[in-house]
Homo-oligomer: A and B are copies of this chain.
């Protein structure tokens, strides 16, 4: 009351952004299972009823997180894609995104946690998908069949997503790698070889 600097102002000013930041901090610390609106509000230093004004409810908050995540992912992957870098580089940028934004990553691929038909979210998700598809198509060459493009997209997405997931859950600690990007690079390279024929092995 006496010193205006000492009291917290009634209006936060940028609470929506602050709540999102608190949510992401919570998510990367404890994962989506343990996330609670009250803890988020506590972290942001506001009343536990405050998030309601900005996100409606818990689903709304996580929908905003997911939409934000897809926006960041599309941005991150389109950088190498637009520079016509090899497909591997696009994959590495995907891995880099996951490592840099574990909170987003933990929510984005759990559609049960948010409103999948949110327009903003759907737009960014489709944008991210089309960046990846374009990179795969470019890798295959323009004469590739659509079936091959789908198979290639799924293959590229699987290895990239799988690596990111396994690394982040601590399942690759046996490799004892200092830099996950280096490890991903060597793993991506390892798969670009034709299968070895073995005596007695039946072919697919």
How many whole Å from A198's CB to the nearest CB in chain B?
A: 7
- Which residues of B have CB within 8 Å of A26? none
Segment of A5-13, A14-22, A47-55, A145-153 engaged in the interface with chain B: A145-153
Contact B171 A109 (CB under 8 A): yes
Interface 1/0 per residue, A95-111 and B, CB below 8 Å: 00000000000000111
| Alpha-carbon separation in the docked complex, A159 to B112 (Å) | 23
Interface 1/0 per residue, A140-177 and B, CB below 8 Å: 11000001101110111111111101100111101100
Q: Chain A interface secondary structure, helix, strand, loop or mixed?
A: helix
Segment of A38-46, A71-79, A83-91 engaged in the interface with chain B: A83-91
- Which residues of B have CB within 8 Å of A141? 196
| Alpha-carbon separation in the docked complex, A182 to B187 (Å) | 23
How many whole Å from A181's CB to the nearest CB in chain B?
A: 12
Spell out A's residues near B (CB within 8 Å): 31-33, 84-89, 109-112, 129, 138-141, 147-148, 150-152, 154-163, 165-166, 169-172, 174-175, 183, 185-196, 198, 200-204
Question: Nearest 4 A-B pairs (CB), nearest first?
Answer: A162-B162, A158-B162, A158-B163, A159-B159
Q: A158-B162, A159-B162 are in contact. List 7 more A-B contacts (CB 8 A).
A: A86-B203, A89-B204, A138-B198, A154-B186, A154-B190, A161-B165, A162-B165
Contact A151 B196 (CB under 8 A): no
- Which residues of B have CB within 8 Å of A183? 151, 154
- Name the residue on B nearest A197 (C-beta): B86
